[in-house]
């Protein structure tokens, strides 16, 4: 065991920590050295999703001390950033996870003890409402206690800045620098000035919902299809607080619930994982939809910023769309309706990430709308919105990982708005005599059939991080020449912000703010392979995107089968097919 680990653990035994915590540390030292190492070998850091990790004792675990220290660091940084501000305000929300309410209380009390004003939601609320609240109340910061779709052992701490977006450079690094100055709980102000804590709830819900409902594009279709059968599940999370109500107020009167999953529970008892990307997470909802004869199934993740969508295929069977497919449907629907309403002026734009399907760009080009390309993580989408505020209009944006947003009043993924837009889009398609699957095939025929897949390889712990780093080095030092027989024509290395044209050897700059550990290969048959270590989980992710021509709807399954075979060949070629 490393001496540093033992020293850090001993510091917790000798320091100002509660007896229960000390007993757990001692137990790990005596019986579980590997877990002790994982708990103490480093401090938790902010990634693309902020502070996130397994709950437990230690510097590398989510607990009341790491939450307190992070909040003290945030408070210190806010005071430094706003020295003349009469009142520094921070909004706080939390999800259904175990300890989330406790961690939110600790956050509020530490901020209050430092003289800051804390607006604490009275009960669990969706993450997008927190983003809205920061902007609506003119806060300087915000905090959401959530680990999104991670397993039940996890929790997290997402910090937001004054525009309602998650913190980005330099604020993220500066906050960490402040946290690292705190080496003992005695440096954290855990108690005092409770008068600085104000509870918020229903009034904020009303303000937020009014904005969500203001985005309506097809009120006539909604009215005509008000009895549309929609199954919705929050997967035990915060979506239960607002999404059914938002759908009802929008005019949909036939929302079918999954009662077992309406229960907010951080143990997520009815699912293996509360991740709407996983087909098993939607099984109960799909079973309910089959019985009820519903048209669509929607599921939000625990903090209600992401949405999974299942629709009926031509045979009437439910299929779970991937994030790119849902994003394409939303982008096409919104841009088409904007054009039909005469709202496009040439100053509008959408945003996608570098690993999101290029189909979104093709749709945007068709409607004369600019398309920005950014890193994974909605905070990067929010940066572009902030830069363009007042000069251009953000219409919509999304990621392949089931996160989308419409409009500018929220600066993060928004399952509430997305569910309402999907329901409206379904009603509109039905009024055209089409299902969402019909609409998706129309898009493929007009713009090209883009299909994607994702392979995630988990490498847990300290050794796992080293293995992921070595894997990235290997693909950089020995770049691929071909992929499934097609020549690699361009290599995008976001660590150096350079694109290499393989044939000419010419290098060009990538127009992004800062480097990132992402590598992409593009072939002459429009295949794109991307490698990206996750910023929130111990994983390396391989994204495959293939483009093909779809001439008729009847040929859809044949083309899909060919592409699936291509995915398997690529995975085998890269030796990641296990």
Active site residues: 148
Measured between alpha carbons, how far is residue 73 from residues 11, 80, 179, 295 in Å?
20, 11, 4, 48
Closest CA to 67 of 9, 108, 113, 33: 108
Q: How is residue 232 annotated by DSSP?
A: E
Task: Say how far apart CA 422 and CA 441 lie, in whole Å.
Answer: 17
- 215, 341 Cβ separation under 8 angstroms: no
Helix (H, G, I), strand (E, B) or coil at 237: coil
Q: How far is the C-alpha of 235 from the C-alpha of 233, rounded, in Å? A: 5
Cβ–Cβ < 8 Å for 303, 238: yes
User: What's the Cα-to-Cα distance from 198 to each of 112, 116, 130, 194, 382, rounded to whole Å?
Assistant: 10, 11, 15, 9, 27
Positive or negative CA dihedral for 338, 343, 345, 347? Answer: negative
Half-sphere exposure of residue 116: CA atoms within 13 angstroms, side-chain side: 32
- The answer to whether the beta carbons of residues 300 and 419 sit under 8 Å apart is yes
In terms of DSSP bridges, do strands 296-300 and 255-257 run parallel, antiparallel, or are they unpaired? unpaired
Diameter of the chain measured on Cα atoms: 71
Tokens of 121: 């939601």
3-state class (DSSP) for residue 491: strand
Q: Look-up: residue for tokens 């953000």? A: 394
Decide: 509 and 498 in contact? Cβ < 8 Å: yes
**DSSP at 62:** B
| Pairing outcome for strands 154-161 and 141-145 | antiparallel
Distance CA 489, CA 507 (A): 12
Angle of CA points 50, 54, 60, to nearest 5° = 75
């Amino acid at each position: 065991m490393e001496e540093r680990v033992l020293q850090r653990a001993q510091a917790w035994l000798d320091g100002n920590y509660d007896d229960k915590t000390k007993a757990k540390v001692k137990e790990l030292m005596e019986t579980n050295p590997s877990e002790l190492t994982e708990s103490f070998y480093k401090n938790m850091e902010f990634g693309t999703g902020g502070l996130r990790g397994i709950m437990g004792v230690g510097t590398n675990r989510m607990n009341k001390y790491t939450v307190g220290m992070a909040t003290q660091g945030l408070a210190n940084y806010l005071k430094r950033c706003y020295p003349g501000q009469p009142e520094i305000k921070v909004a706080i929300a939390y999800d259904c996870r175990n300890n989330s309410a406790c961690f939110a209380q600790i956050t509020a009390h530490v901020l209050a003890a430092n003289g800051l004003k804390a607006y604490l939601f009275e009960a669990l609320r969706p993450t997008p409402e927190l983003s809205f609240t920061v902007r609506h109340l003119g806060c300087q910061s915000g905090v959401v206690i959530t680990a999104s779709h991670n397993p039940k052992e996890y929790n997290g701490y997402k910090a937001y800045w004054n525009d309602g977006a998650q913190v980005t450079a330099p604020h993220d690094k500066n906050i960490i620098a402040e946290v690292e100055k705190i080496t003992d709980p005695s440096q954290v102000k855990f108690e005092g000035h409770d008068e600085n804590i104000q509870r918020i709830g229903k009034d904020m819900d009303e303000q937020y919902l009014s904005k969500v409902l203001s985005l309506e594009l097809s009120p006539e279709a909604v009215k005509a299809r008000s009895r549309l059968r929609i199954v919705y599940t929050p997967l035990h999370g915060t979506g239960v607080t607002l999404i059914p109500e938002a759908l009802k107020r929008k005019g949909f009167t036939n929302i079918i619930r999954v009662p077992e999953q309406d229960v907010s529970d951080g143990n997520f008892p009815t699912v293996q994982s509360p991740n709407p990307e996983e087909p098993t997470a939607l099984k109960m909802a799909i079973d309910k939809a089959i019985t009820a004869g519903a048209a669509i199934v929607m599921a939000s993740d625990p903090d209600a910023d992401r949405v999974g969508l299942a629709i009926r295929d031509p045979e009437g069977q439910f299929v779970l769309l991937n994030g790119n497919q849902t994003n394409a449907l939303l982008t096409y629907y919104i841009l088409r309706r904007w054009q039909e309403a005469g709202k496009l002026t040439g100053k509008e734009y959408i945003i996608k990430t570098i690993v999101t399907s290029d189909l979104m760009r093709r749709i945007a080009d068709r409607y004369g709308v600019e398309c920005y390309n950014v890193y994974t993580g909605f905070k990067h989408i929010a940066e572009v919105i902030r830069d363009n505020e007042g000069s251009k209009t953000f219409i919509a944006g999304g990621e392949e990982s089931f996160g989308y947003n419409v409009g500018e009043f929220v600066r993060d993924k928004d399952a509430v708005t997305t569910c309402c837009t999907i329901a409206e889009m379904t009603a509109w398609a039905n009024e055209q005599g089409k299902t969402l699957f019909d609409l998706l095939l129309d898009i493929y025929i007009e713009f090209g059939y883009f299909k994607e897949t994702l392979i995630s390889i988990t490498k847990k712990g300290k050794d796992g991080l080293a293995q992921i780093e070595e894997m990235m080095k290997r693909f950089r030092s020995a770049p691929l020449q071909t992929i499934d027989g097609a020549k690699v024509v361009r290599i995008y290395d976001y660590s150096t912000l350079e694109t290499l044209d393989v044939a000419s050897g010419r290098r060009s700059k990538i127009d992004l703010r800062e480097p990132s550990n992402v590598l992409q290969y593009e072939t002459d048959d429009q295949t794109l392979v991307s490698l990206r270590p996750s910023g929130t989980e111990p994983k390396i992710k391989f994204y495959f995107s293939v483009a093909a021509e779809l001439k008729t709807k009847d040929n859809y399954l044949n083309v899909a089968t060919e592409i699936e075979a291509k995915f398997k060949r690529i995975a085998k070629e890269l030796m990641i097919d296990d």
